[in-house]
Amino acid sequence: MAQQSGIIKLKGTLGGISFYKTSDGYLAREKGGVSAQRIATDPAFQRTRENNAEFSTAGKAGKLVRNSIQVLLQTARDKRCVARLTRSLLAVVKTDEVNARGERKVQDGNMQLINGFEFNQNGKLGSTFFTPFVSALDRTTGELSVDIDAYQAAVRIAAPRGTTHYRLNFAGVELDFEERNFNFSMEQTAILPHTSVEQVASSLTATLTANTTLPVLGVLGIEFFQEVNAEMYPLKNGAFNALAVIKIDQV
């Protein structure tokens, strides 16, 4: 793979060389490879078909996860979030000890592997919010909660320059990977001042389906604001907002 340089940037195929644009710039590579028909039918490519099937499973699962928390994700993600999440979910698929290779599923694997997943590498929850918290799920009632210790925002929240206020966001989702649908619930704090005034211990709750047997995922995030003339403006278009998986529960 080569990177294009110069004033003229090419896209397309020329002389057996494919030119294309990626997030890393304009690249070029030699056209070639095994035909799709051969990969689909040749017994020699059975492992390849299995790998492709499981990559597809991880990709679809990642899309479901992203769609389920889109209301939060739209302001707290980096440009490689999709690829990173797919890679993490593929690792989950490979832990499935129930189904045959090529047919393994996310929900039958160890989903704890994505616990702690950061959706925004530019603003990680783990290096932004230093207040102790504990999350819990009561499947009987469907209540997913996070209990947050008392804290001083100026001490316990590493806010980007220009921050005057912030807000904590907590959400829970039930994920049905077979039917590709979800149930979403969210609770937010008020927009709070980023000062040394102590915030009392608090709890945020997401109400899901009672007695659900689906995998449940909980995320906690923080978004930053700047107050100008009594108006709250998202800081730098949310570039440093954090959002991470803090709870995974499977039956």
Q: What DSSP string describes 129-182?
A: B-S-EEEEEETTTTEEEEEE--EEHHHHB-PPTT--EEEEEEEEEEEETTTTEE
* Domain assignment present for 78: no
| Same domain as 142, residue 29 | no
* Domain assignment present for 54: no
* Domain assignment present for 150: yes
| Same domain as 232, residue 126 | yes
Residues 243, 120: contact at Cβ < 8 Å?
yes
Residue 12 above 70 pLDDT? no
Domain count, the chain: 2
Q: Which residue has the tokens 């998202």?
A: 234
- Output b/e per residue, 182-197; b: 16+ Cβ within 10 A: bbbbbbeeeeeebeee
Residue of higher predicted confidence among 42 and 150: 150
Q: What percent of the chain has pLDDT over 90?
A: 76
Residues 61, 68: contact at Cβ < 8 Å?
no
- pLDDT, tens digit, for every residue of 90-132? 999 999 999 999 999 999 999 999 999 999 999 999 999 999 9
* Domain assignment present for 55: no
Residue 20 above 80 pLDDT? no
Residue of higher predicted confidence among 134 and 22: 134
| Mean confidence (pLDDT) of the chain | 90
* Domain assignment present for 69: no
Once rounded to an integer, what is the mean pLDDT over residues 209-237? 94
- Is the backbone of residue 116 left (phi > 0), alpha (psi -120 to 50) or beta? left
* Residue numbers of the domain that contains 232: 114-249
The CATH code of the domain that includes 211 is 2.60.40
pLDDT of residue 64: 98
Once rounded to an integer, what is the mean pLDDT over residues 190-211? 97
| Same domain as 242, residue 127 | yes
| Same domain as 118, residue 25 | no
| Same domain as 123, residue 223 | yes
| Same domain as 232, residue 120 | yes
| Same domain as 118, residue 28 | no
* Domain assignment present for 57: no
**Measured CA distances, 173 to 53, 117, 227 (Å):** 25, 15, 32
- pLDDT, tens digit, for every residue of 33-81? 667 777 666 767 778 888 899 999 999 999 999 999 999 999 999 999 9
Residue 1 above 60 pLDDT? no
Quickly count: other Cβ atoms within 10 Å of residue 155's Cβ. Answer: 11
* Domain assignment present for 16: yes
> What single DSSP character describes residue 5?
-
Taking the alpha carbons at both ends of the chain, their separation in whole angstroms is 45
Residue of higher predicted confidence among 29 and 49: 49
pLDDT of residue 121: 94
* Domain assignment present for 93: no
Look at residues 58, 17, 50, 246 and name the one whose alpha carbon lies nearest to residue 146: 246
**CA distance linking residue 54 with residue 183, whole number of Å:** 24
